Amino acid sequence: MSVLITGASRGIGRSIALALADDHDIAVNYRSSKDAAEEVVEAVKQKGRNAIAVKADVRDPEAVESMIATVIEAFGELNAVVNNAGTVEPALATEIGDEQWNRVLETNLTGAFYVTRTAIPHLEPDGDVVFISSIGGTGGTVDASYAASKAGLHGLTRSLAREYGDRGLQVNAVAPGPVETDMNSTIVEYLESVAFRGHENIGTHLPEYACQPEDVAHTVGYLLKNEYIQGEIVNVNGGMQFQ
Ligand code: NAP
C-alpha cells in the first residue's frame, strides 16, 4: 500500500507520514523544505517502509502531473492521497490583496483539486482521498480567504464522493481546530494583532493539552482503514464546534 501526502515536510503532514508508515509506503511532497522532507523520508524508512521525497508546488498542474508519475514509478501503485499542503495569509476581507487571496485559494483549494484529479485515474480500486480542511471551513473565521478555501474543500469532498464513490473511491475530509504547528503560530499572531480573541468560542470541555499534529494524523489513519465513512467532514477540534 502506498500513499502520497502533500506538504509532508513539516507540521501535520509530517505526522501523517509517520502515522501512515505503519502500513504504507510514503511519498513525502514538499514545496521548498527539501532537507526537512528528506528527514521525514529517513524517519519513515526507520520504520521499515519505503519512502521518497517529491518536490512539487501543488499550484502548478504540470509539476503535479510529474509528481504523480514519479510516485507511480517508485511504488508501482497508489492507494491513497492525503491533501494536506496548505497556507494561510491572514487578513480581513476588506484588507486582503488580490495576490494574497489568490495564493491562499490556489494552494488550499485549487492545488488539492489538481493533485486529486491527477491521482484519481491511478488510485487502485478501494482508493482513498483525504482532504485536510479546518474548523474555519464550516464555522468561518476572521480570515475569509482561508475559510473560503477550506469550505471549498468540503464541496470538493462531497462532490467527489458522489462522482467516484460507485467506482470504489472513498473521499473524506478531516477538519482540525488549532493545532500546534508553524502555521498556527502565524494565525495566533494575526489574531492578537487585529485584537480579536482567537479562542472565544472554546468550550469548557476542551482537552487539557493543545491539539497536536498526531491527533489529526491518527484520524487520517482511521479513515484509510474504515471502508464505511464516505463524503464526511470529520471534526478534530476537542469540542470547539459541532457540525
Ligand atoms: P505548516 O506547518 O505551515 O506546513 C505546511 C506544509 O504545506 C509544508 O510541508 C509546506 O511545504 C507545504 N506547502 C505549502 N504550500 C505548498 C505548495 N504550494 N505546494 C506544496 N506544498 C506546500 O502547516 P500545518 O499547520 O502542518 O498545516 C497542514 C494542513 O493542516 C494545512 O492544510 C492547514 O490549513 C491545515 N490546518 C492546520 C491547522 C493548524 O492550526 N496548524 C488547523 C486546521 C487545519 P514546505 O515545507 O516545503 O514549505
Measured in whole angstroms, the distance separating CA 37 from the mean position of its chain's CA atoms is: 16
**Angle between the N-to-C axes of helices 34-46 and 11-20, in degrees from 0 to 180, rounded to the nearest 10:** 20
Q: Based on the residue annotation, tell me whether 146 is a catalytic residue of this protein.
A: yes
- pLDDT tens string 177-216: 999 998 988 887 887 776 554 445 444 467 888 899 999 9
144-164 helix and 98-105 helix, angle to the nearest 10 degrees = 30
> Is the pTM for the entire model greater than 0.85?
yes
For ligand 1, atom 33, the nearest C-alpha belongs to 86
φ, ψ of residue 2 in degrees (nearest 5):
-135, 150
Q: Average pLDDT for consecutive 10-residue bins of the chain (243 residues)?
A: 98 98 97 98 98 98 98 97 98 95 98 98 93 96 96 98 96 96 85 59 66 97 97 94 81
Q: Which of 30, 146, 209, 228 is catalytic?
A: 146
CATH 4.10.410.60 fits 2-236, yes or no: no
Report how far ligand 1's centroid is from the alpha carbon of 12 (Å). Answer: 7
